[in-house]
Structure 1
Amino acid sequence: MPEITPIPLAQLTTLRTGGVPERMIDALSTDELVEALRDVWATGDEWFVLGGGSNLFVGDDPFEGTVVRILTRGIERLPSPRPGFARLRVAAGHDWDDLVAVSVSEGLAGLEAMSGIPGTVGAAPVQNIGAYGQETVQTLVEVELIDETTGEVETVPAADLGLGFRTSVLKHHYGSVPARRAVILSATFELADVGHGERRIAGAQLRGALGLTEDDTVSLAWVREHVLATRARKGMVLDDADPDTHSAGSFFQNAVVSASFARTLPDACPRWPVAPDLDPVVVIPLSAYEGLVPAPTSRESDVKVSAGWLIENAGLRKGFRFPRSRAGLSTKHALALTNRGNATATELAELARYIQSRVAAEFGLVLQPEPVLIGVEL
């Protein structure tokens, strides 16, 4: 469990903000990670784990606690009980995009649309990462985690993680605490063994992003290559030379709203239906049960709306920033707040609050931040 001289968090986060933590530990193996976390939890100090630093917005003041860097790596291929599938068990600190590259090289489908997403594998289930219609929940089988309450290591099925739109029971949402405080040690994915040949793409969202028709056939490698190119054009692939990539990705979540609220937005606002719960659980108190179960009440599906469109149509165009501020919207993608050169967290937070206020005034909707905020308020 090597304790190291603390490194400024501005050097370890893709948004490039954050002071020096009081203590920093590098965990190079799962055993070291478990030992480090148990040690930190026993002290009662403030703490957080750091993977790729791509989903964190950290304040300017020094962090008065311990940062545990998850540096574990490794991919293990396992058999699947389902014919035509294979499983990959991956260490939490392994680079996400490297996992995608390996899966494509082995002819395994299910992650290729998520090429180029920065961060580590352990962070993927926490916020159920996704892109172009693919999400972690579609292929995740289980995670191995260590629970803060008990200190015990256990294997948890994906179905018990509460995976939803960019969320899980493990995620620190802004203004609330996670339903379960735990750290992922490894994740296991089940992927279709489709080989390297060309095939039709089932997802309409991915086809649309890549300019494909229902009848077009392409290989996994082709999809990965073109997804990376598409993300690069939006400044969503990390590049030290490009300030548009000095961000936490999409800073605000695409909002999920009721169908009735969505109808109040302009028709031009992009929107996507959210799959309804087709088998809702009905709980009837025994004292009120009369031998009949009422028919389920149908309701309209919720709707996901484009936060990027709302920002631009609230008058905040790509590249917007305050005079003399070093924080600004990406020149390629209005949903990304970027550090244009030594911006402070204070400058970025000021911009984020202004965006929220403009969208709320124009459309009656308060956008919620997607990154985990540490030592900073909006």
Structure 2
Amino acid sequence: MHTLDLPGLAADAGAGHAADAPLSGLTTLRLGGPCTHLLTCADTRSLVAVVRALDAAGESTLILGGGSNLVIADSGFDGAAVRVASAGIDVDGTLVRADAGALWDDVVAATVAAGLGGLECLSGIPGSAGATPVQNVGAYGAEIADVLERVELLDRRTGERHWVAPDALRLGYRTSVLKHRDDALVLTVEMRLHDDGLSAPLRYGELASAMGAEPGARAPSADVRRAVLRLRTGKGMVADLMRDDGTPDHDSWSAGSFFTNPVIDDADLPGVLEAVAARVGDGARVPQYAAGGGRTKLSAGWLIERSGYGKGYPGEGAPTRLSTKHTLALTNRGAARTGDLLALAREVRDGVRAAFGVRLEPEPVLVGCEI
């Protein structure tokens, strides 16, 4: 980092600057070592100026949003971390525009307060708006692809800003063309909702039951938001939960679901079901859903539990554990290191593979580390 005056760049661009800054406090896992420089951009103008200058100088750059889907190595990041803190939210009729750095749940809350429907099932998801099209964020039967209108990107190869339609992003299950690449940076997200005050159809059985409604029914979006927040809180899947005694609930010190639900070829399904019957019993049935294209989606949480990794594994005193509320979340119990988390992730991944022949893939972005 000798080719650019980063403090000077930060001042010129209207951004904040810190040297040798810890990154653990900027992730929901509270894990990760320091970066060489941390630049905080409070608006889109400063974000574009900083990233353009860093790219022109060939500096190693890590873009940080809400930190909810990120695992950073204990060694940290040898380069400039750019924190996206642009937080604008604009509701114009049924069109909602959010800056990339806006807290996602603030966006959802603003739309529900405005009497709009379409985002309520995505309530309580930690992180920022800019991550939603990258991951095609989804929960409780809804995903961002359902409402996405367009996305403004910074092309880091040319420095140009442009808008793209959802079709260009090839949105899929927890993925898009933006995932695992760094040549395009999300600046703004636009979504088109509906103004009748009702939710999207309740496609997820657990949520429909919580609402006392039939699957496919619609309900007031504010009521659905409250129900989703209750469900997520009960699973520890919201950020910064506190216990009744005022201490942190470490079940919420996570990256959310650590593994995606595996999608396998239908030709491989009989072998998996045979392994399930041999291990769990002939009457056992792994939850499965048609994924299209001759593929089937399985439940990662179900497979993890039946492989011998229950809630809270490996038990009291371990620095990292599966959440005591939800087996898909790997959690920092307060004094963990990234290495501890990765070791647990490897154990669970390899255990599921050995038990059922299914390989689980991590959902978070891994920086400087791997499982």
Query: Could you say which TM-score interval applies, normalised by the shorter chain?
Result: 0.7 to 0.9
Aligned residues: 340
* Partner SS, residue 350 of structure 2: helix
* Matching of residue 60 in structure 1 with residue 74 in structure 2: yes
* Matching of residue 139 in structure 1 with residue 139 in structure 2: no
Aligned twin of 1:19: 33
Aligned twin of 1:251: 258
* Matching of residue 317 in structure 1 with residue 317 in structure 2: no
Match among 82, 88, 106 for residue 74 of structure 1: 88
Aligned twin of 1:273: 290
* Matching of residue 45 in structure 1 with residue 59 in structure 2: yes
**RMSD of the TM alignment (CA)?**
1.9
Aligned twin of 1:225: 226
Aligned twin of 2:167: 159
* Matching of residue 184 in structure 1 with residue 186 in structure 2: yes
Q: Distance in 1 between matches of 2:211 and 2:286?
A: 21
Q: Specify every segment of 5 or more residues in structure 1 that has no aligned partner in the other structure, as ranges.
A: 80-85, 173-177, 277-299
Aligned twin of 1:356: 349
Task: Identify, as 1 or 2, the structure richer in helix.
Answer: 2
For residue 124 of structure 1, report the CA deviation from its aligned partner.
0.4
Q: Distance in 2 between matches of 1:200 and 1:113?
A: 8
Task: Write the letter of the residue equivalent to 2:320.
Answer: A
- Superposition pairs of residues 337-352 of structure 1, within 5 angstroms: 337-352=330-345
Q: Distance in 2 between matches of 1:262 and 1:13?
A: 37
Aligned twin of 1:294: none
For residue 190 of structure 1, report the CA deviation from its aligned partner.
0.4
Q: Does the aligned pair in 1 maintain the 2:65–2:84 contact within 8 Å?
A: yes
* Matching of residue 5 in structure 1 with residue 18 in structure 2: yes
Task: Write the letter of the residue equivalent to 2:40.
Answer: D
For residue 256 of structure 1, report the CA deviation from its aligned partner.
1.0
Distance 1:46 1:273, change over 3 A: same
1:341-378 superposed Cα distances (whole Å, 9 cap, x missing partner): 12000111110011111000001111100000001121
TM-score normalised by L of structure 2: 0.87
1:183-222 superposed Cα distances (whole Å, 9 cap, x missing partner): 1000000001113xx6794525442564522586631111
1:301-342 superposed Cα distances (whole Å, 9 cap, x missing partner): x21111011111000111002785301110010010000012
Q: Distance in 2 between matches of 1:62 and 1:332?
A: 29
Q: Distance in 1 between matches of 2:201 and 2:168?
A: 29
Aligned twin of 1:118: 126
For residue 92 of structure 1, report the CA deviation from its aligned partner.
0.6
Task: Write the letter of the residue equivalent to 2:64.
Answer: L
Task: Write the letter of the residue equivalent to 1:73.
Answer: A
* Matching of residue 87 in structure 1 with residue 128 in structure 2: no
Q: Does the aligned pair in 2 maintain the 1:22–1:63 contact within 8 Å?
A: yes
* Matching of residue 376 in structure 1 with residue 369 in structure 2: yes
Distance 1:149 1:268, change over 3 A: same
* Partner SS, residue 34 of structure 2: coil
How much identity, in percent, do the aligned residues show? 44
For residue 109 of structure 1, report the CA deviation from its aligned partner.
1.2
For residue 62 of structure 1, report the CA deviation from its aligned partner.
3.1
1:156-194 superposed Cα distances (whole Å, 9 cap, x missing partner): 11110111000011111xxxxx3x721100000000111
Q: Does the aligned pair in 1 maintain the 2:199–2:224 contact within 8 Å?
A: no
Q: Distance in 2 between matches of 1:203 and 1:34?
A: 39
Distance 1:163 1:245, change over 3 A: same
Q: Distance in 1 between matches of 2:232 and 2:313?
A: 20
* Partner SS, residue 108 of structure 1: coil
* Partner SS, residue 272 of structure 1: strand
TM-score normalised by L of structure 1: 0.86
Q: Distance in 2 between matches of 1:253 and 1:231?
A: 17
Task: Write the letter of the residue equivalent to 2:173.
Answer: F
Q: Does the aligned pair in 2 maintain the 1:127–1:168 contact within 8 Å?
A: yes
Aligned twin of 1:242: 249
